[in-house]
């Protein structure tokens, strides 16, 4: 395995995975690239500055650009021009692996078309982190990310996945989660096994496991851990029915380990 210092001899676009919420999940290589890249392109510059500050990495003599869905079309050529001028660029999302339901495709595709080296700096990814602890089959899975907001388009995509045998992974906002689970129960069947994960690697990390019929209304409304859902959910939903639990073994929420965690400052 390589252990040499990251000193590129030509321009490189680094696709850098960063912690979802637990600072200790940053890799040594990611720290090195973030320390040495001439240009940083961040989905959220405020989050990037907090991360760099927590890692004691300065920005002196370097550039930090905002690169998100709102300006991806305009900023991709700017960053490619920096690469063509001999500078290295590190692309990072607000947390996790860039391009996985996050901005970055235009930049990566443009760099490849321009003959510029693109290299991943692997690390945290919300989809695979949730899948690994979901308790659902992992021999095959399909990541679909965020579904369209329009009911018709969303319904057509769900219908197209109805007979897939892989575990399906979706992202959804807390405001639309209950609606999505209800729609999935209609399409895939209420008995399908599923898992909802939230606040991965953070202090309030939690998983809910059960059937699609149980997840939307199976928790008491007063349950604060279900009511205080924050930011982003992952919903790996298996499309093959699982054997029902025996009557004497009701499904319950599994306890969540909450070790002391150093989180990225807010």
The contacts found for 214-223 with CB under 8 angstroms, 24 or more apart, are: 214/251, 215/181, 216/178, 216/181, 216/182, 216/185, 218/251, 219/253
Looking at residue 263, its pLDDT comes to: 66
pLDDT band at 35 (very low <50, low <70, confident <90, very high): very high
Residues 6+ away with beta carbon under 8 Å from 18: 26, 30, 51, 92, 93, 95, 96, 123, 124
**pLDDT of 220 over the 70 cut:** no
Q: How far apart are the C-alpha atoms of 112 and 109, rounded to whole Å?
A: 5
pLDDT band at 252 (very low <50, low <70, confident <90, very high): very low
**pLDDT of 247 over the 90 cut:** no
**pLDDT of 242 over the 70 cut:** no
Per the model's pLDDT, the better-predicted residue between 14 and 231 turns out to be 14
Q: What is the mean pLDDT of the chain?
A: 84
DSSP 213: T
Please identify, in words, the CATH class of the domain defined by 12-121.
alpha beta
CA angle, 203 as apex, 200 and 206 as ends, to 5°?
Answer: 50
Q: What percent of the chain has pLDDT over 90?
A: 71
Domain layout of the chain by residue ranges? 12-121, 126-241
The CATH number given to 126-241 is 3.30.950.10
pLDDT band at 4 (very low <50, low <70, confident <90, very high): low
Looking at residue 216, its pLDDT comes to: 58
Q: 203 pairs with which residues across the strands?
A: none
Looking at residue 185, its pLDDT comes to: 92
- Compute how many other C-beta atoms are within 10 angstroms of the C-beta atom of residue 2: 6
Looking at residue 1, its pLDDT comes to: 73
pLDDT per residue over 192-219, tens digit each? Answer: 999 999 999 999 898 999 999 888 544 4
The contacts found for 76-81 with CB under 8 angstroms, 24 or more apart, are: 76/106, 76/107, 76/110, 77/110, 79/13, 79/39, 79/41, 79/107, 80/107, 80/110, 80/111, 80/114, 80/116
pLDDT per residue over 91-130, tens digit each? Answer: 999 999 999 999 999 999 999 999 999 999 999 999 999 9
Residues 6+ away with beta carbon under 8 Å from 208: 195, 196, 197, 215, 219, 226, 253
* Interior/surface letters 247-260, b for 16+ CB within 10 angstroms, e for the rest: eeeeeeeeeeeeee
**pLDDT of 11 over the 90 cut:** yes
Residue (of 19, 18, 4, 61) closest to 36 by Cα position: 61
């Amino acid at each position: 395995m390589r252990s040499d210092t990251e000193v590129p001899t030509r321009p490189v676009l680094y696709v850098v995975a960063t912690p979802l919420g637990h600072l200790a999940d940053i890799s040594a290589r990611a720290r090195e690239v973030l320390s040495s890249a001439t240009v940083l392109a961040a989905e959220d510059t405020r989050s990037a500055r907090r991360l760099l500050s927590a890692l004691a990495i300065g920005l002196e003599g370097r550039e930090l650009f905002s690169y998100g869905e709102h300006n991806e079309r305009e900023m991709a050529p700017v960053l490619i021009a920096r690469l063509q001028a001999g500078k290295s660029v590190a692309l990072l999302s607000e947390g996790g692996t860039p391009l996985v339901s996050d901005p970055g495709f235009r930049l990566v595709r443009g760099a490849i078309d321009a003959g510029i080296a693109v290299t991943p700096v692997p690390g945290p990814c919300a989809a695979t982190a949730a899948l690994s602890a979901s308790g659902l089959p992992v021999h095959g899975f399909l990541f679909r990310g965020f579904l369209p907001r329009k009911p018709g388009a969303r319904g057509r995509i769900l219908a197209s996945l109805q007979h897939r045998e892989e575990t399906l992974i979706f992202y959804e906002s807390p405001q639309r989660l209950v609606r999505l689970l209800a729609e999935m129960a209609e399409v895939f069947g209420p008995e399908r096994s599923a898992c909802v994960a939230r606040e991965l690697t953070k202090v309030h990390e939690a998983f809910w496991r059960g059937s699609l019929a149980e997840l939307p209304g199976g928790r008491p409304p007063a349950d604060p851990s279900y009511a205080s859902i924050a930011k982003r959910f992952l919903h790996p939903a298996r499309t093959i029915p699982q054997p029902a639990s025996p009557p004497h073994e009701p499904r319950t929420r599994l306890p969540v380990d909450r070790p002391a965690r150093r989180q990225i400052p807010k």
